[in-house]
A and B are shown apart, each in its own frame.
Chain A
Amino acid sequence: MEVNPLNIFFVKSDSKGDRLLFRYPYTTENKDENKQENYGRLNPYAINSTEDLLQNPQSQTSNICKGELSGFTDEMLSTLFAVKAELCNRKFELKVNDVRFVGHPTLLPYRTNKDDTAAMILINIVFALQASASHSIVKCYYDLSKRLGKALTHEEKRCSYLTEEMKIMLEAHDQVSALDQEINGDNEDEEENSRHSISSTTQNVDNGTESDPKNAFDLILQKSSLAKSMKDVFEELSNTGIVQVTINKWVLLSFCLPHKAHQIHNRGLIVEPETIDKCISMLRPYHGILLMVDPNALLASIPLDGSPALLRLIKCYSPLKSLQTLAIEADLTLTQAFQLTGHLVYWAKATVIFPLCEGNVYVVSPVANVHVHSPLVDEFAKEFPGLCLLQMLSEFSLPAPLWYVCRSGAWGARGGGRLARLVAWLLQRRLLMQLHTYVQFNSPHWPRQRHSDSPQAEGKEYFCEKHDSYLSSNISFSSLNQLQLNVPEPVEPREVIDPDTNKHYPTQNNLNQTDFSHTQPIVIESDTKYKFEVDSANHSFDEGADVVDGDLNKEQKKANSVDSGISNNEKKLTSRLSDVSLKDTHSSDEDRLESDERYFKNGVSLNLKLQSEMSFQSPTVWTAPLGCDAVDYCRFPPEPPTTESLLDTFTPEERAVLANIPAADNPDDLLLLAQLHKKGYFRGEQHLEEIMFMENVTRSQLMQLLDKFKEVLITFETEDPAVALLYPY
């Protein structure tokens, strides 16, 4: 496992020179070398290459032997890690063959024993890793080394902890080397050996004789609390990846190596911090969290000075709740909730899901361990007596909503609560994965040219084949708007509550007004031969094209229209029907704003208090176009109305296809389609749940829409990318 550390070293360098004070684990060098030599000699056919003068002796290519560091003497390491002052307080990264050393050399003042004059000492806590370990792993270890250095600096400053500990270590080294010299005085053969690595010649971990430890590191480990802390750091890194060490019983050092920590719950799952960052940046308010551990245990494990926001969030936790709900209940801003989620995911305490509900579609995840003898089978049987994991998984073979699974034979009368618990269990172990439905507007004209976005598309002429459907005329939408229908003019919003911050808080009461007050002017670019029943109102079609044409011209002159798109060409009329005061250039800005605002369009349901906390929240209101009056979403007060037509988002070809669909006769449906299409929901990037959340439409509305426009709307089911990031594939 390249995540695990190979070794931890503690090196000091001061006026008295450099010294490797402690390392863990400490093993014997000589044993291994002897073994290797023996293996070499065992082969009777091996050619003795010492006579080969032309060939250089083979160089060493690996310094890792059976998962342990080998080939370095302690002196060599201390020389390497006692860096020059220029390299202090920055990242130290040295790669030798297939071992990478990483550390943060820390230069700190310390008190020498005799007088109180402060001298500088360099300490370097170095981790040895496999060179193949990814950069993000190295970065985490570097961070840990830095934190250890900081903690020691603090403790040295507070109570000369480092000085004391180093004294203990140095004494132990001296004691053992004195002992060695005594022994070696009798036995000269060993002298050579011990000179090379005084401290590593023998391994006495097993003996553990307190009276006569032959290894200095043994002695140090018995006497020094710092050495014990380092040992704990190493072992916790190797076991769980989560380090909780109190240095000198004073400084709590908490560290998490996410690459390792996520394997506590899922073997083989490596989650890099970068992935978590990416996941958090893709989080939406409708996502939820699923704790990997018991919430009470988690609460108990949080240190006393833990963030109260985190405690509140965990107290409100339920896998059925979305982050937005959690944020409201825990009295947090949404951003805070996201950050806390990222925190929980980083520490492998939670994963991101879509809140459990009956409509969710789950399938077996591509990385699920479905082996019949996997330990999960027994765990599952213990957790859910009477159920078989394999049988359960096979029920999720075909994508179906949860209520369907619930109703199917195996579940019968067992109730949904248990099913939710079961699904949560399976999700925690990444056995299941949720599928979402994505919608793609299947344009007949690929690749899509977005006329509405390009200014040169203004007044563009196009011709179509003669079409004998029900329509024969243009319709001046603006004239209809203003003359035939009693739709109010765009006016300034009335519901501005807080003019200081330029915000207005929507409430249910003023929704209708808002809608009208921000009616977006509509431009129709349509062909003579087609007509779209766009407006939800009950306008009638004009039969005489000429009349409309005339009206249109008049209308446009009146409107001081910028476009010259009216042209009579081969008796076909391309017309631009536009409202007064057109400015197309705002569209792109608005799109951008719109994307920023999306989180909060649903703000209707938020209470005012929450909103006032969300200072960044854009004051927008969005209601579903349920009735025929709702035309568009509202805008910022300073935002001028735009000329964008909803139907303008469709290309002529697309409109031609749309005109053939019977459902297009229904203005409500067409309007909803156009609105959703315009906002880019039909590009296969947002799933139904997102559309429902953002646009406040119901699932059945969407499903009906999909069904009615199935000629142009195609769907596919796949996983949510944000959630899928945390799956190991």
Chain B
Amino acid sequence: MSSKSIETRYYEGCGRIGPIRCIFLSEFHPVAGPKIVCQFPEDNVSKDVFHSISAYIIPKPQFILKCTMTINSLGHKIIGYPIRIENTRYERNMYIFNLCFVCDSWSKTVQYEPVVKKLGEYLVLMEEETGFVSKGSSRLPTLLAHLFHDLNTYHRATLAEGDTAVRLLVGQPRASPPPVHDHDVPVPVLRVAPPSPPPTPTSSDEPHLDPDADWDLTTAQLLPHIDGYNHVSKIAADADVEKTLVKSCIRNLLYYDVVRLVPVLKFSNTYRATPALSRFFRDPELQAACLAYAAPSARRQTALRDVGRMLCSLQQGSPLRGVCERWAVVAPDVDVRRLVVFAQLHGLIRCIKRYPLWRGSEGPGAPGGPGGSPTDLRRLFTGALCEDEICCRARLDLVSLRRIVDEDPDVAVVWR
């Protein structure tokens, strides 16, 4: 793995986050026009380049709308926040400046936008108080160098000038997590997830969320109940927290990739392999992680063989119950539940859900109370809800639901 082979993966649109290459402060000089006041490191953005794109860094005064502008051209991606201060003390009754971050053109830069904006607002404050920017303070180069170093190294920086201080943090742009349902099961993944670092005894042993971490109070109350088997409704009941609160807490955990959602583990579930299962057979690290999670005490070689067989025997049409019965004797060390959870987390298998569909001709039954008659249940058999969700909504156990579904000739079941 030379650096060259990694380099080639940086292309525009690779979606990766690159470092800040340069920070510069530019202003509209009353005589010289747009120019760079101060740059760190020096000469990253040449005069020619700046001249070509100065329209997007120092726009015409009437077009400054207090918004971040990112221009991607000539090999630079420049994020700026143009600022206009109107005051009679300036030569043109107006002062325009812009503090810009320069990144590689392939880099993702959304995460820097709030930082650039906050910095801009801070500089406005400083400028209005002391003329910090327009007078070309001698501390500017140090300030930029300090910013450059701290933001690239620690992704955070604190600036203190005079009486004011500003704290900056570069966030991670993440997709917003999917909605959480009553029947979803959050599984803590913080320490299991990728087997990339060599598994230490503590990390591979028992994955759990650290309740002492800096979570908010509600989340802290929920954490002991998130064990990989309890679904959201149960967590809410056990922790005595309102369900919507639980959901938003879990969404928050999802956002930080601390938990992932899997369907409720039931022994009547069926699973199906995904194409990723072949990875399990190739990847010794994944195997080790799997064994450590699912069969901590097993002898390695025999267990691996059995684990492979167990995963393969999880086929659409054969419920987990049957697999357990078959393998309980052969591989008593392997905890099937943990194995299934692990395999789902790594996308090796997929849970097949059952969707009851009501095909009757008459309209849906009148809305009744939860757990009402089979006719009331029919309005839930739309195909949008899987059995788990119907059980949660109707407060019905699965056995009764299956019985209702089986007895009704107008109900078809689709597995997918």
A residues at B contact (CB < 8 Å)? 56-57, 59-61, 63, 71, 76, 79-80, 83-84, 86-87, 90-97, 131, 134-136, 138-139, 363-366, 368, 370-374, 388, 390-391, 393-394, 397-399, 435, 438, 440, 442-447, 683-685, 714-721, 724
Contacts and interface: CB of A to CB of B under 8 A. Distances in A.
Given A93-B73, A97-B68, A683-B281, A716 B305 contact: no
A201 to B, nearest CB: 17
B355 interface: yes
Contact of A442 (B62, B274, B308): B308
For the complex, would chain B's binding face be called helix, strand, loop or mixed by DSSP majority? mixed
A60 B63 CA distance: 13
Contacts of B274: 718-719
B56 A372 contact: no
A376 to B, nearest CB: 11
Interface in B4-39: 12-13, 15
A443 B278 contact: no
Interface string B121-138: 100100000000000000
A390 B70 contact: no
22 contacts: A60-B67, A61-B67, A79-B59, A84-B53, A86-B74, A92-B73, A94-B56, A95-B72, A138-B13, A364-B414, A366-B416, A371-B383, A391-B359, A391-B412, A438-B278, A446-B284, A446-B287, A446-B301, A446-B308, A716-B277, A716-B312, A719-B274
Nearest to B280: A684
A513 to B, nearest CB: 37
B285 to A, nearest CB: 9
Contacts of A136: 13
A363 B316 contact: yes
Interface string B30-54: 0000000000000000001001110
Nearest to A440: B281
A516 to B, nearest CB: 35
B350 A366 contact: yes
B276 to A, nearest CB: 9
Given A91-B73, A718-B274, A447 B416 contact: no
A195 B309 CA distance: 76
A398 B282 contact: no
A447 B275 CA distance: 20
A442 B359 contact: no
Contacts of A721: 275
B13 A135 contact: yes
Given A372-B382, A717-B316, 9 more contacts: A93-B71, A94-B71, A95-B72, A96-B65, A372-B383, A390-B357, A446-B308, A717-B272, A717-B273
Contact of A399 (B51, B62, B316): B316
B308 A394 contact: no
B59 to A, nearest CB: 8
Nearest to B316: A399
B317 interface: yes
B277 A718 contact: yes
Give the residue among A96, A442, A718 with the most B Cβ atoms within 10 A: A718
Interface residues of B, number: 64
Nearest to B66: A59
Nearest to A433: B416
B203 interface: no
Contact of A139 (B13, B62, B414): B13
Contacts of B124: 56
B315 interface: yes
B81 to A, nearest CB: 9
Contacts of B15: 135
A394 B73 contact: no
A548 to B, nearest CB: 31
Contact of B414 (A373, A397, A443, A447): A397
B346 to A, nearest CB: 14
Contacts of B65: 59-60, 71, 96
Interface string B379-403: 0011110000000000000000000
A286 B26 CA distance: 61
B173 to A, nearest CB: 10
A502 to B, nearest CB: 33
A80 B121 CA distance: 24
Given A80-B55, A370-B383, A684-B277, A390 B317 contact: no
Contacts of A87: 52-53, 73-74
B241 to A, nearest CB: 31
B60 interface: yes
A714 B70 contact: no
A-B pairs with the 5 shortest C-beta distances?
A135-B13, A684-B278, A59-B66, A397-B415, A86-B52
Contacts of A135: 12-13, 15
Contacts of B304: 446
A96 B313 CA distance: 53
Nearest to A59: B66
B69 interface: yes
Contact of B317 (A90, A92, A399, A715): A399
B220 interface: no
Give the residue among B12, B277, B350, B412 with the most A Cβ atoms within 10 A: B412
Give the residue among B284, B381, B415 with the most A Cβ atoms within 10 A: B415
Contacts of B305: 442-444, 446
A84 B52 contact: yes
Contact of A398 (B60, B281, B284, B316): B316
A729 to B, nearest CB: 10
B359 A390 contact: yes
A197 to B, nearest CB: 12
B311 interface: yes
Nearest to A366: B416
A373 B382 CA distance: 8
Interface string B355-394: 1011100000000000000000000011110000000000
Nearest to A439: B312
B260 interface: no
A714 B273 contact: no
A178 to B, nearest CB: 24
Nearest to A720: B275
B413 interface: yes
A399 B73 contact: no
B251 interface: no
B247 interface: no
B414 A394 contact: yes
A579 to B, nearest CB: 31
A79 B58 CA distance: 12
Contacts of A94: 56, 69-72
B231 interface: no
Contacts of A86: 48, 51-52, 74
B414 A390 contact: yes
Contacts of B71: 93-95
A83 B74 CA distance: 13
A372 B360 CA distance: 10
A440 B278 CA distance: 8
Given A93-B72, A718-B272, A79 B60 contact: yes
Contacts of A138: 13
Nearest to A398: B317
A212 B71 CA distance: 40
Given A364-B414, A718-B275, A59 B316 contact: no
A717 B413 CA distance: 21
B355 A370 contact: yes
Nearest to B385: A371
A244 to B, nearest CB: 27
